[in-house]
């Protein structure tokens, strides 16, 4: 998994590529220093798949953002990842684009 993150106008941008599972989720979680941000955007254009361990990280981010009055946005998930969001009902929690 590769993580490329940057802060732009109070929005954290995380470009995550590869696999987000129990093995890699802790890495992503460790990168989630979200102080001062209102919104987190995950660019999953390069993500192969996501397991519940990855979802847990997204949920953690979502809770933090919701507390600050913001949210989580997911960009360019592949069919499989989109499917996971739909299965789990998280597609209604996060903003998923496109």
Partner 1 sequence: MKKRTIVAAALCLYAALLAAVWHVGTFRARAMTEALLDYAVSDIRLTMDGAIDTMLEHVAVTCIRRFGRADRYAREEVDTVAHLFDIDELCIVDRAGIVIASNDPDSLGVDMNRKEVTRPFAALTNGTTKVVAQPFRRHAYSKSRRKYLGVPFPDGDGYVQVGLDEARMPKMINAQLAFLFDVEMGETVCYLCADMNTGALVSSLSVDGETSTLDEIGFDASRAPDSDETFEQTLFGDKAFCRSYVFGGHRFIMVVPKAEFYGTRDVLMVVMTILLALVLGAFVVLLVRISNDAKRIKAFYAAEDAARAKDMEIAKTIQTSALPAPLAANPCFRLAASMTPAREVGGDFYDFFMLDPTHLAFLVADVSGKGITAALYMMTAKTVIKDALLETRDIAAAFTEANKELCRNNSANMFLTVWGGVLDLETGGVAFVNAGHNPPVKIGERVEWLADKSGPVLAFMDGVKYKSRLTHLVPGDTLFLYTDGVTEAMDGKHELFGEERLATTLSAVTSSSPDTVCGVVRVAVAAFAAGAPAADDLTVLAVKYVRRSDRFVRSFPPTQEGVCQASAYLDECLKEQPPDVQASLHVILDEIASNIVKHSGASGFEVDVEFTEDPAGVRLVFADDGVPYDPLAHTDPDTKLPAAERPIGGLGIMMVKKMADSISYERARNRNFLTVFKMAERVKGRSIS
Residues that bind partner 1 (CB under 8 A): 19, 21-23, 48-53, 55-56, 59, 62-63, 66, 78-80, 83-84, 87-90, 93
Q: Exposed (0-12), middle (13-18) or buried (19+): which is 97, by Cβ within 10 Å?
A: exposed
Sign of CA dihedral 55, 56, 57, 58: positive
Strands 11-20 and 39-50: parallel
Based on CB atoms, which residue is closest to partner 1, 11 or 51? 51
Based on CB atoms, which residue is closest to partner 1, 31 or 48? 48
Based on CB atoms, which residue is closest to partner 1, 2 or 7? 2
Closest distance to partner 1 from the beta carbon of 69 (Å): 14
């Amino acid at each position: 998994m590769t993580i490329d993150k940057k802060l732009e106008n109070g929005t954290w941008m995380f470009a995550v590529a590869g696999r987000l599972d129990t093995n890699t989720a802790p890495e992503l979680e460790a990168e989630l220093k979200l102080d001062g941000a209102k919104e987190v955007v995950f660019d999953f254009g390069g993500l192969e798949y996501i397991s519940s361990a990855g979802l847990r990280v997204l949920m953690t981010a979502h809770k933090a953002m919701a507390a600050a009055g913001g949210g989580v946005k997911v960009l360019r998930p592949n069919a499989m990842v989109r499917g996971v969001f739909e299965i789990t009902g998280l597609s209604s929690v996060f903003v998923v684009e496109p």
